[in-house]
Amino acid sequence: MNQSLIPVILAGGKGERFWPLSRKNRPKQFLCLDGSGKSLLQATADRLLTLPFPLWVVTSAQLAEGVREQLPDLPVENLLIEPEGRDTAPAVTWATLEVSRRYGEDAVIGFFPADHWIGDELTFQNNLDAAAQLAASEASIVTLGITPGYPSTGYGYIEQGEQTGTFGGLPVYRVNRFTEKPDRQTAESFLATRKGNYEGCPYTWNSGMFIFRAGVVLEELRTHAPEIICPLEEKGAAAYADLPKKSIDYALMEKTQLAYVLPASFGWDDLGDWNALERLLKGDSPNVELANHLGLDTRGAILYCTDEAEVIVTIGLEDVVVVRDRNVTLIVNKDRTQDIKKVLQTLQADPNLENML
């Protein structure tokens, strides 16, 4: 691994589409979803602890105690606690400022979501090393683009431009453009240049992982997002209440001319909703069962229960998600899991239902 890479985990997300397992004080990154015994946050930290620099984590005030419990060896001074969530642009900006104050503007920083699944960790380390080499040698903001496996409408896409070089034996390309979650027809058109195996396709999925030199990004933020960086430079975290809510993609990556993409193939999933468990855990069984399940004529179901003493019984069901956690039971068609957020909006509007959040 590149000796100068400083890892920062973004751990302030809510993971609402994994409700009711994911709750206000126990969001997706605190959960074990793959049967490994480790939470997604712990697995992310373990992948990055091979680096010589200590880990940093950015999280919200509401989740800070949970992060401390899950990562007890995290240095206190490396836990940045946001007063309120303002999306990823303020989080990345604040963390970059703090890291640069400690290590200087030539420090190479890597930002990583706390709640993603990585299949091949050795390939991940090699890809990360190549990205760090590029960031250390050139003024660049490098993102790892995931080689697509199918025309997903749930991920953002990166269009590759010209190849600018090779690092660690891997090609690197300028970014032509970012596209947020497209409709099915658009996603299929992106991948139409390749059939079956999408190796070599000029489009990759946006992984949300970024590697860069601190000084490069700080200067780019002063150019493209002064409304975020200037208050943080002046006031630090005290500026949060007045910051706009923006993602780093919108605030910077879609505007900068220094964006590069390194296509990666290490097995990846952003675990966006309950359907991700089928992609990860589906075997020869007709269902994905993380519960005591007695099923009759049930196929294509995803079943999850947190209480080992309970049994879920299904008869004649197909393509459903059934989740039982404490005081809530969720039953939803697999093609309607995006509507879980609508249910949460209803619950949030009723103070009598607050204990379900």
State how far the Cα of 43 lies from the Cα of 309, in Å rounded to an integer.
27
What is the pLDDT averaged over residues 30-45? 90
Does 121 have pLDDT greater than 70? Answer: yes
- The pLDDT, as a whole number, for residue 199 is 64
SS3 301: coil
> CB–CB of 327/355 below 8 Å?
yes
Structural domains in the chain, CATH included, are 5-269 (3.90.550.10), 276-356 (no CATH)
What is the pLDDT averaged over residues 91-99? 98
3 pLDDT tier (thresholds 50, 70, 90): very low
321 pLDDT tier (thresholds 50, 70, 90): very high
Strand residues in the chain grouped as ranges (E): 5-10, 56-60, 79-82, 108-113, 117-118, 141-146, 157-167, 170-179, 203-213, 259-264, 268-269, 288-290, 293-296, 302-305, 312-315, 320-325, 328-333
In the chain, which residue ranges form alpha helices assigned H by DSSP? 40-48, 64-70, 88-103, 121-137, 184-190, 214-224, 226-235, 248, 276-281, 340-348
- The pLDDT, as a whole number, for residue 131 is 96
State how far the Cα of 43 lies from the Cα of 259, in Å rounded to an integer.
28
Does 290 have pLDDT greater than 50? Answer: yes
> CB–CB of 107/185 below 8 Å?
no
What is the pLDDT averaged over residues 86-99? 97
The torsion region of residue 299 among left (phi > 0), alpha (psi -120 to 50) and beta comes to: beta
Query: Mean pLDDT for the chain?
Result: 93
Does 304 have pLDDT greater than 90? Answer: yes
Does 355 have pLDDT greater than 60? Answer: yes
What is the pLDDT averaged over residues 58-69? 96
State how far the Cα of 34 lies from the Cα of 342, in Å rounded to an integer.
26
- The pLDDT, as a whole number, for residue 2 is 45
State how far the Cα of 308 lies from the Cα of 135, in Å rounded to an integer.
48
* Matching residue, tokens 């379900």: 356
- The pLDDT, as a whole number, for residue 345 is 93
What is the pLDDT averaged over residues 15-24? 93
Q: What is the pLDDT of residues 245-256, one digit of tens each?
A: 999 999 999 999
Q: What is the pLDDT of residues 182-239, one digit of tens each?
A: 899 999 998 886 655 556 689 999 999 999 999 999 999 999 999 999 999 999 999 9
What is the pLDDT averaged over residues 64-78? 96
**pTM, entire model:** 0.93
State how far the Cα of 116 lies from the Cα of 276, in Å rounded to an integer.
11
State how far the Cα of 123 lies from the Cα of 100, in Å rounded to an integer.
28
What is the pLDDT averaged over residues 268-273? 92
Closest-CA residue to 290 (of 22, 27, 20, 33): 33
Q: To the nearest whole percent, how much of the chain has pLDDT over 90?
A: 80
- The pLDDT, as a whole number, for residue 194 is 62
Lowest mean pLDDT: which of 97-101, 141-145, 193-197?
A: 193-197
State how far the Cα of 321 lies from the Cα of 147, in Å rounded to an integer.
28
- The pLDDT, as a whole number, for residue 1 is 45
Position 76, amino acid: V
Q: To the nearest whole percent, how much of the chain has pLDDT over 70?
A: 97
316-352: string of b/e by CB count within 10 Å (b at 16+)?
ebeebbbbbbeebebebebeebeebeebbeebeeeee
- The pLDDT, as a whole number, for residue 149 is 84
- The pLDDT, as a whole number, for residue 283 is 83
Closest-CA residue to 353 (of 325, 323, 328, 322): 328
- The pLDDT, as a whole number, for residue 195 is 54
